Amino acid sequence: MTNEPTRTYDVIVIGGGPVGENVAERAGAAGLSTVLIERDLLGGECSFWACDPSKALLRPAVARADASRIPGLDPAVAGPLDVEAVLAHRDKMSSYWKDEDQVDWLDSVSVDLIRGHGRLTGPKQVAVQTAEGDTIALTARHAVAVSTGTRAALPPIPGIDTVRPWTSREATSADKVPGRLAVVGGGVVAVEMATAWQALGSQVTMLVLEDRLLERMEPFAGELVADGLREAGVDIRFNTVVASLARDDDKVRIMLSDGKRLSADEILLATGRAPQTRDIGLETAGLTPGDWLTVDDTFRVTGVDGGWLYAVGDVNRRALMTHQGKYQARIAGAVIGARAKNQPVDDTPWGKHVATADHAAVPQVVFTTPEIASVGLTTREAEQSGRRIEVVDYDLARVAGAHQYVEDYRGHARMLIDTDRNTVVGVTFAGPGVGELVHSATIAIAGEIPIGRLWHAVPAFPTLGEIWLRFLETHRG
């Protein structure tokens, strides 16, 4: 243990993914001395094992599927993907799992970096254990922000410890294509990785506990994704429970609860996420290690005396997506800065009740074939909230721009209108290219734009954006 004196900063940030980076940058921009602690690669899951590498794997699969339905182009894309080129591009997009560029950026915004494992040791106190075995003691004048994110939550399947299963990390960084890949789960990671690896040459079998894919989205979204996966050759088995696992002769042996067996070269467990809070000293703040951190709308952790502890990003479970975490981070950094200067938090650019977008207008894109894009409430969520809603459905294939996109376009769109307020509260699109539609829907919901005003937002012809006119015409009847 080093004997150096305790280092003091205005703000300490534990966790150097994109959320922690943004908290640190915003606190620094407010004039506060800030240090960021990261035990792995600066840039976190999104940069190295999630957003960037997964989309690099998915883009060729989705582009080929779309191109195969464009007259005059379809014969040119009939062959298999160049696996070596796809994986090389994935490696490049992941910066070859090196974080020098991220470090340079952090230096440019005058935030210090300490590499190691950070743990709370008391109010505004943090100890960092470095890889060299040294311990660095830190004190915060104003705030400590926890931005440690999540890890894969593995189910308690007998034999799981013997099979070396893939999680999302291995699925996005693997350097060879497994001949047979079993995917356990039916959520976003499961369908995206099934899409990518089937396109790269694996024979993918999906083992889904529920009776449909993407259970938290509108039912038609999961149905269209299931159709696309089956057309690509994926074997989807619904209402399926994995009873036990074993690895034998370098193969994974999978026993199902109905007595059936199957084998795979690799198995991906895409069965949810858990907070990275087991070993960060939460007990010293009166909290339970391993728990999600509950926060108020300024991202202060509730139940901690003194209001010095903040939790930002996935670790607070408000919206487990990178773009939402970065939104929270920008707000949290500004709020911490305002409070350090004894200014009211409504002096920030985001107003007093700052965290609203991670409740009412959370956009998401699932990069499958077809794409799924959604924001706001689903029909089930809207009904459970007690709202009176009108459901407006439209076949995206009837939009003129769809036929400019691909031949034989298949898709669907749904808009939910709060009939008491006459505003949009939820939109879901399913079809090729719909990811670029979601921000217009996000603006409509976040801005609470009255339906009467949306009539004056004229979409260009012929584009997929014309769905907004078709929504309104269908609503008017």
Question: Residue 400 CB: number of other CB atoms within 10 A?
Answer: 12
Residue 353 has pLDDT above 60, yes or no: no
DSSP lists the bridge partners of residue 138 as 7, 126
Domain ranges of the chain: 7-47+94-151+274-357, 160-271, 370-476
Cβ–Cβ under 8 Å, residues 178 and 264: yes
Burial of 329 (0-12, 13-18, 19+ CB in 10 A): buried
Cβ–Cβ under 8 Å, residues 21 and 113: no
Sole residue written with tokens 């070396």: 164
Taking only the tens place, the pLDDT of each residue in 380-397 is 999 999 999 999 999 999
Q: Per-residue pLDDT averaged across 38-43, rounded? A: 95
Q: Per-residue pLDDT averaged across 414-433, rounded? A: 97
Sole residue written with tokens 């950026």: 105
Taking only the tens place, the pLDDT of each residue in 173-217 is 999 999 999 999 999 999 999 999 999 999 999 999 999 999 999
- 79: three-class secondary structure by DSSP: coil
User: When comparing pLDDT for 357 and 166, which is higher?
Assistant: 166
Residue 355: its pLDDT value, please?
Answer: 65
Return the CATH number of the domain spanning residue range 370-476.
Answer: 3.30.390.30
Taking only the tens place, the pLDDT of each residue in 15-33 is 999 999 999 999 999 999 9
The torsion region of residue 257 among left (phi > 0), alpha (psi -120 to 50) and beta comes to alpha
Cβ–Cβ under 8 Å, residues 189 and 173: no
State the pLDDT confidence band at 347, using cuts at 50, 70 and 90: low
DSSP lists the bridge partners of residue 430 as 372, 412
Sole residue written with tokens 């376009």: 409
Helix boundaries (H) for 209-342: 219-232, 322-340
Residue 10: its pLDDT value, please?
Answer: 98
Residue 359: its pLDDT value, please?
Answer: 77
Q: Per-residue pLDDT averaged across 224-235, rounded? A: 98
Q: Per-residue pLDDT averaged across 141-168, rounded? A: 96
Q: Per-residue pLDDT averaged across 263-287, rounded? A: 97
State the pLDDT confidence band at 76, using cuts at 50, 70 and 90: confident
Q: Do domains 7-47+94-151+274-357 and 160-271 have the same CATH topology?
A: yes
Q: Which CATH architecture has domain 7-47+94-151+274-357?
A: 3-Layer(bba) Sandwich (3.50)
Residue 357: its pLDDT value, please?
Answer: 72
Residue 405 has pLDDT above 80, yes or no: yes
Joined together, the tokens standing for residue 77 give 């894309």
Residue 346: its pLDDT value, please?
Answer: 72
Residue 349 has pLDDT above 70, yes or no: no
- 262: three-class secondary structure by DSSP: strand
Residue 147 has pLDDT above 60, yes or no: yes
Cβ–Cβ under 8 Å, residues 470 and 406: no
State the pLDDT confidence band at 58, using cuts at 50, 70 and 90: very high
Across 247-267, b (16+ Cβ under 10 Å) vs e yields: eeeeebbbbeeeeeebebbbb
Q: Per-residue pLDDT averaged across 100-129, rounded? A: 96
One-letter amino acid for residue 179 of the chain: G
One of 3.90.550.10, 3.40.50.2300, 3.50.50.60, 2.130.10.10 is the CATH number of 160-271, namely 3.50.50.60
DSSP lists the bridge partners of residue 120 as 126
Residue 354 has pLDDT above 80, yes or no: no
Q: Per-residue pLDDT averaged across 358-371, rounded? A: 92
Q: Per-residue pLDDT averaged across 38-42, rounded? A: 96
